Chain A
Amino acid sequence: NAGVTQTPKFQVLKTGQSMTLQCAQDMNHNSMYWYRQDPGMGLRLIYYSASEGTTDKGEVPNGYNVSRLNKREFSLRLESAAPSQTSVYFCASSEGGAVEETQYFGPGTRLLVL
């Protein structure tokens, strides 16, 4: 059981370039999330999708777009990368619907923007 998978694992971009981070889950979960992790700041929510066909902004959405392609896949796009977007990005998923439920995380994508 793969759980949550993310690609790529590592990426280097130049300022102004674009890229898409891919995320997929095989647990038939309804909800999916994108977080970024920065030193001394914990994890901050970028976007989330409560169910297939819906997306909504989190705490730090500026500079990002998302697509919930189907129930399994939730992608994060940087249209014009900036050095401030250098971070580790985590995708997560959960069944959806209960506040005490567990979120399952992927292994992360390390992004360096020069």
Chain B
Amino acid sequence: GNSVTQMEGPVTLSEEAFLTINCTYTATGYPSLFWYVQYPGEGLQLLLKATKADDKGSNKGFEATYRKETTSFHLEKGSVQVSDSAVYFCAFPLGGATNKLIFGTGTLLAVQP
């Protein structure tokens, strides 16, 4: 069935370190792919997305490339900041008549000064 697998956290990094959070998916066809971010005490918000294979989504220094061959959408950032501390969710829509989203379990990122 449809599913998303994310690397388990927490991920603890020092400021300015390189970040990778792995995400792989199992789906029928080639769905749009999303990364959502949840800052402490807040709801989720869209970080970036890619709508087709080989697309690269980017926002706030984060990037993710839609890799059809490996069914992956790994999130990367070259230099993290303390303000990036949050929970990151990979997701894709089931499609059909509505945009029901399938979420990964989330990866907690803690950035230390």
Q: Which of B41, B51, B98 contacts A48 (CB 8 A)?
A: B98
Q: Which of B45, B46, B89 contacts A42 (CB 8 A)?
A: B89
Taking A42-B89, A90-B44 as contacts, is the C-beta distance between A50 and B101 under 8 angstroms?
no
Kindly identify, within residues 59 to 102 of chain A, every residue whose CB is under 8 Å from any CB belonging to chain B.
90, 92, 94, 96, 98-102
Please tell me if the beta carbons of B42 and A107 are within 8 angstroms of each other in the complex: yes
**Does B61 count as interface, using CB distance less than 8 angstroms?**
no
For the complex, give the distance between the alpha carbons of A96 and B98 in Å.
7
Kindly identify, within residues 73 to 103 of chain B, every residue whose CB is under 8 Å from any CB belonging to chain A.
89, 93, 95, 97-101, 103
What's the tally of chain B residues with a CB closer than 8 Å to chain A? 23
Q: Mark contacts of B30-44 with chain A using CB atoms, 8 A cut-off: 1 yes-contact digit, 0 otherwise.
A: 011000000001111
Please tell me if the beta carbons of A100 and B32 are within 8 angstroms of each other in the complex: yes
For the complex, give the distance between the alpha carbons of A108 and B97 in Å.
26
Binding site for A on B (CB under 8 A): 4, 31-32, 41-46, 49, 51, 89, 93, 95, 97-101, 103-106
Binding site for B on A (CB under 8 A): 4, 31, 33, 40-45, 48, 50, 56, 58, 90, 92, 94, 96, 98-108
